[in-house]
Structure formats: structure tokens, C-alpha cells
Structure 1
Amino acid sequence: MKNTGWHIIIFLALVLVLYSCTGQPARKTVREAFSDSLVPQYADKFRIYFTPEYTVFRVFSPWQGGKSTTVEYMLANNAASLPVDAVRGRIVIGTPVKHVVCMSTTHVGILSALQLDSSIVSVSGTRFVYSATIQKMIQEGYISEAGYEGSFDFEGIARLKPDLIFAYGIGPEVTSWYARMESLHIPVVYLAEYLEEEPLGRAEWIRFIGRMMGVPQKADSFFFSVRASYLSLRKLAQNNTPQPVVMTGLPWKDAWNVPSGNSYTARLISDAGGIYWCSDLTARENYELSIEEAVGKAFDAKIWINAGTARSLADIKNTDLRLAAIPAYRNGNVFSNTARIGPG
């Protein structure tokens, strides 16, 4: 008669290999194969890949100067059952995503466009939100103030138990600001839409957020509608002759920061039928001009837009008397975006 004791020992050993000390089945190691993908038509800084079990979101260069950085997120219903190779190095987000924190008011606008106002539980800079619906939710206590970089309300955010935080980064130091939130097991999703140079590239980020929030069809419908309107207006603007030179901004102290001629601002003005006043500055970073340099360039401009926080010609003149000599100022062709502002 054969001794079956060794067979039992070998069997139990195999069971122990297959199960961890927590009783969870060991994850399989398999080669990842995506069944489909979303490659944006205009945006450069994200890609989305699909499998039947999960979705992978890749964000490239998520902050200024982060060209070699890629952050990956995995959206899954049951991440514990996924292959270990699929999870490794990725920030896992469980589905469905119901409650979010917005660290930029622009993200509030995107969620509102998707009719997801009720998903917002906290916002950084609540006083700068214009939406009457969101302001009502803030006043009634449904949306809290999240605080700012360096002074986040960590305890308040933790009590809300959000499914994720939509964040943005000016530089690599942003990772240290959000490290504590990640230590609380709150996924931080970096959105790089503000770094897109194509205007429609910025708009296309609604497709990223829409898929993360579980409303891809609604996001696509909104984006394609915006794209159709934008392209129609751009075509109409190309018939605008002669094309006026357009200047932007307002100095801060003794410096005038201007986007480069390759920037989102320059392309937006070009698409609208204008010529950007600093089109000769071709680097990708912003430039800092002296007021004398800026005023010299401004003498060719027929139109002045986005004049900082100024709400009147008097505000511009009070900033610096030299600005009153600019032709666009003298002709009253100054247009700003302060007609609709929040309580802040």
C-alpha cells in the first residue's frame, strides 16, 4: 500500500502558493493586450486603452517641465482580481466614480457640462466659481472648500471620502503637495488640459473625464458639438481681411508675461482671424517682457483682449500710466473676460 501522506503535503503546498496570507487568490502574470483605444484627434497629453476588465488612462507631461513623466491610471471594478503586471506602477481607481474633489475651477466647468454637478464634493477656490448651481450647493454645504497648495484641508477632504481628486500641477513639486492625500488612499488624477497648445485639444479632455466618470457617450457628444461649432467659426474667420494684430494681458509689477507664438493663446487668436502680437517669440515657454518692450510691441495692435483683472480703462491706466499711450487703449478697443465672475 502506497503512503499518501506526501501527496497530501504536496497538494497543500500548492494551495499555499496559490493563496496569499489574506486568503486572496494570487494574481496571474499575463501579457497585457488592449482590445481598443482612444487616440485623441487634437489633444497630445492623454491616451486611453481598453480591456474587458479595466481601462488604462495615460497622462503625458502632466505639469510644466515634466516632459519625461507619464502617469498611468487604471479604472476597474475589481482590481484585486487583475493580473499583477496590469496593476504594477499604476494608480488604481475603483468604479463607479461617484464623488470627486476639483482642484481647479475649470474642472468644475467640465463636470457641469456633463451634468455631473452632484458628483462634486469639494473645490479649491470656491469663491471663484461662477455657476449659480454650484454656488448654491456651496452655500447649502454640499460642496466644501478644499484649500490651496500648501494648505489643503486634508482632514475635511478625508471625511468626504471622495473616489478621486482631479488635480493639476504647475511643476514637479506638486507631487509632494498631494502625497498626503495619496497616503489616505485617495487617488489623485493629474489633468494636463491646460498645457495643450491646440484649443480643441483642451476641449477634448472632456472625453478623458467623461470616461473616468462613466459617461463616455455624453462626453463625446458634447465634444463633437463644440468641435463642429469651432471649426465653422474658424472657417468664417479666415475670410477676415485685413487681419488685426491682437495683444493680450496686463503687466504685473514691472514685468509683462506673455505666451509664446506657439502657444494656445496664439493659436486661438489665429483661428479667430487675428495676428498674435508676440508671434515672433517662438519658444514654448512664456516670456517676460519689460513694460517698455511690451508697450513698443503694442503699438502695432488694433485690439487688446484679456487685460488681466482690469474691469475698466481707468483700471488699466492706474496700473501704469504708460499703458494709456497704447493705440488699442486710446481707441477703446479693449475687451476683457470679467463680465461674468464669481463672488471672489
Structure 2
Amino acid sequence: MLSRHKPITVVLKFLTIIFFLFFNSCENKKQENITNRVLKQASIFYAKGFSINYYDGYKVIQLNSPWKGETSSYQYILYEHEKPSNVKGIFIKTPISSIVCLSLTHISFIEKLQQQHTIVGISGCNYVSSPAIKNRIENNEIKEVGQHEVVNYELLLSIAPELIMAYGIDQSSTAKINKFSSLGLTTVLNAEYMETHPLGQAEWIKFMAAFYNEEEKADSIFNNIEQEYLKLVEIAMSANNKTTVFSGMPWNGAWHVPGGLSFQAQLFKDAGATYLWADNQEERSFIKSKEVILDEALNADFWLNVNAYHSINEIVETDKVLENFKALKQQKIYNNNLRENAALGNDYWESGVVNPHIVLKDLIKIFHPELIEHELYYYKKLE
């Protein structure tokens, strides 16, 4: 009797196992779907180069087009406790406690977040403007890791930072990143300079904050910057006249000027000035001949951003023909090097990126001095 029921018992056990495996598989897939579900997206209003999605236990930063002509993207997986196993990318445990900055703009974002104590290495220490960072350099708390293409890899290995914040300019940047990776050094690209709106550049503070788990602080800081900037734009728009402006200096017969879609052109517009090449469709700079500039900008009201020059005489000494500009004759030349140090490090390129509202205030004071009470911070008038 028992022998007749044995096959039935075996079948029932087999079906039970199949059901258990199927149920367990469904549960695993359900759990995986929950883990992969986006719980929240970071609010990014102006910046186009990155996005941040939040999942259960980790967040993903997507970096797009890190330099001109580069179409590939990078994915950084940030986690605080357990490293996720169901996603691909560069894994970084947060909050980080040590970082090396290969661009001086990076240190300004970090300072805004009050995380400057985490900086252990910088490329270009002698160019630093920040008093707090300079003090840490003098106390040997921050090391010089090399400048330009010369990187001190041995020193980097001895420092062993949790993160290297780098930037890319062309395909050669990939080789450097791969070199860091081969040495076991985690590297993240920062592409704030690719943004075409001043507020877009400043919004990269949210990118930086993600590595410190300081997103709320970054949102608060950026909101204050945005509010101040937009308030200033409204003031500038009330100007009765729209002054004309051009910028730059000739080099070997060519003149590199900001494109009409560049952040610099946006600043001029927001400050209530008419940029001579506002209709140009370039997001970066483009080249015109010196002769064309002399023709098109001859009667412009203002001339700004004249390289590293500090006086009108220095400009004239480079080429006497520049005396013909109306802006030079009327001494309406301003440069953004008021906060330049002895090593020619310029704070405009260090902290200006996180202070677009102060840059804008400078420009409004230059173009429409009657509109606001303000002492120039980054700019100065050349005599």
C-alpha cells in the first residue's frame, strides 16, 4: 500500500520545491525592483552637466559630456553603508573625509560647504587666493600634487585621498583618469566650466555636496545665490540705456571672444549691457581677426576682461592701434583681476564661480553705477 503512494509523495515534494523556488525568485525580483526604484531626483534648475538620482541605500550621479566634443557619460555610485551590487559605475563611500583638487574652482565649492578641512592636496598651491586654504598649505596640511600635466603620483599614493576631483579638457584626460585608476585612486570629473549660465556653474555645489552628504546645505546655499542673482537681474533691467561691451585681447593677430551662448555673454546680458556678439551661437569662445574687432568694436562703450593687464599703458604698449577704441579713449576699461595675488593667481577664477551674484553686482556697478551701491570686488578700472 505504501509503495503505491510513494511516487505521488515524490511528485508532491518536487512540486513543493518548484513552488518554493518560483516564489523565492519572485520575491528576489520584487526586492530588486524596489532597490532599483528611483526614490527621489535632485532638483537641478540651471546646470546641464549632471543629474542625481536617489535609490534605497545609495545615490547615482550621472555626468554628461565632461568636456567639449565628449559624448560619453560617467556614472558615480555613492553609498554610505552597504555597497550596492545591482548597479554599475564608480563606487564611492560617503561622506568622504579626504580629497585632492586638481582645479582651484573645486576648493571654493568645498569651502562654501564648510568642508575645507577635507582638502589634503591641490594642483597649483601658489595660485590659491583663499586665506583659509593658504594657511593650511603653509602648515603643510595641504600638499602640492603637481601642476599642469606633471602629476606627482608618488605623493598622491602617500597621501592616499579618498577622492581626486579632476576635470577634462580633451581625450588626453582619459589617460590621466585611467592612470589614477590603475594606482587604486578614485577619480571624479567635475565639469562646471562647461555650463553656459553663471547659475548653472554655481549649481555644481549640489554635485560637490553629494560626496559629503550635505545636499540640504547645498540647496540652501544655492537658493540664496539664485535669489540674489535674480533680484540683481531685475534691477539691471530697469536701466534706461543699454551700454555696449566687448572683451578680450588680441594674440598673434587673433582675438578670442566669448560666444553668444557663453556664461560670459549671459553675465553681460543680465547686467543690462548689450554684448556685441550676443547673436553668435558658440557656447565657448570663438576667433575673430584683430582687424574685424577693430571695426566692429571701435565705438563700444566698455571693454572688459583684458587678460592679465593692470593699466591702459600696458594695453597700448602691446599694440598702438588699440588706442583707437572709444572705450580706451574714454577710459572705460575694466579687468577682473582686482583680487590677483603675487603668483598671478586670480580669485575671480577661484571663487567667482560660486559667487555669480557678486560678479553680476560688479558688472551692474560698471555698466549702470547709478542703480546700486557697491564696491567692486572682482573687477577694477584700469587707469
TM beyond 0.5: yes
Unaligned runs of 5+ in 1: 1-27
> TM-score of the superposition, structure 1-length normalised?
0.87
Task: Provide the residue aligned with 1:53 in structure 2.
Answer: 57
Provide, for residues 88-136 of structure 1, a one-character-per-residue CA deviation record: whole Å limited to 9, x for no partner: 2x11111220111111111111111111111111111112111111111
Asked whether the 8 Å contact 1:149–1:177 carries over to 2, the reply is: no
**Does residue 71 of structure 1 match 2:68?**
no
Do the aligned residues in 2 keep the contact of 1:48 with 1:56 (CA within 8 Å)?
yes
1:10 match: none
Provide the TM-score with structure 2 as the length reference: 0.78
SS of corresponding position for 2:250: coil
Distance of 2:259 and 2:151 partners within structure 1: 32
Alpha carbons 1:127, 1:342 under 8 Å: kept: no
Residue 150 of structure 1: how far off its partner (Å): 2.4
Measured in 1, the distance between the counterparts of 2:257 and 2:82 equals: 45
Task: Give the Cα–Cα distance (whole angstroms) in 2 for the partners of residues 159 and 270 of structure 1.
Answer: 47
Tell me the residue number matched to 2:32: 30
| SS of structure 2 residue aligned to 1:315 | helix
Partner of 2:288: 289
**Structure 1 residues 217-250: Cα deviation after superposition (integer angstroms, max 9, x where no partner):** 2211111110010000000001112101111112
1:265 equivalenced with 2:242 (yes/no): no
Distance in 1 separating the partners of 2:172 and 2:187: 14
Matches within 5 A, 1:30-179: 30-31=32-33, 32-66=36-70, 68-78=71-81, 80=83, 82-83=84-85, 85-86=86-87, 88=88, 90-179=89-178
Shift of 1:170: 1.1
Could you say what secondary structure the match of 1:30 adopts?
Answer: helix
State the distance in 1 between where 2:214 and 2:283 align. 34
Structure 1 partner of 2:223: 224
Q: 1:253 to 1:139 in 2, by over 3 A?
A: farther
Structure 2 counterpart of 1:201, one-letter code: G
Following superposition, the deviation at residue 339 of structure 1 comes to 1.2
In the alignment, the residues of structure 1 paired with residue 304 and residue 102 of structure 2 have an alpha-carbon distance, to the nearest angstrom, of: 27
RMSD: 1.7
Indicate whether 1:189 and 2:188 are aligned. Answer: yes
Deviation at 1:148, TM superposition (A): 2.8
CA contact (8 A) 2:196 2:283 kept: no
* 2:124 and 2:146 in contact (8 A); partners too: yes
Unpaired stretches in structure 2, ≥5 consecutive residues: 1-29, 344-383
Residue 50 of structure 1 deviates from its aligned partner by 0.6
Higher helix share: 2
Q: Where do 1:305-324 residues align within 5 Å?
A: 305-324=304-323
Moved over 4 A (4+): none
1:269-315 CA distance string (max 9 Å, x none):
10110111222322334211111112222213111111111111112
* Matched position secondary structure for 2:272: coil
The separation in 2 between residues aligned to 1:302 and 1:164, in whole angstroms, is 46
1:322 & 1:116 partners in 2: Cα distance? 49
What code does the residue aligned with 1:255 have?
A: A
Larger deviation, residues 70-79 vs 277-286: 277-286
Q: Tell me if structure 1 keeps the 8 A contact 2:180–2:187.
A: yes
Figure out how many residues of one structure are paired with residues of the other and give that number.
312
SS in 2 for 1:236: helix
Rg larger in 1 or in 2?
A: 2
- Counterpart Cα distance in 1 of 2:31 and 2:66: 29
Distance 2:151 2:192 in 1: 22
Q: Distance in 1 between matches of 2:114 and 2:59?
A: 22
Q: 1:284 and 1:132 mapped to 2: Cα distance?
A: 33
- In the alignment, is the contact (CA less than 8 A) between 2:37 and 2:56 conserved in 1? no
**What's 1:19 paired with?**
none
SS in 2 for 1:151: coil
Q: Which of 316-325 and 201-210 deviates more?
A: 316-325
How far apart in 1 are the matches of 2:341 and 2:82? Answer: 40
Amino acid at match of 1:95: T
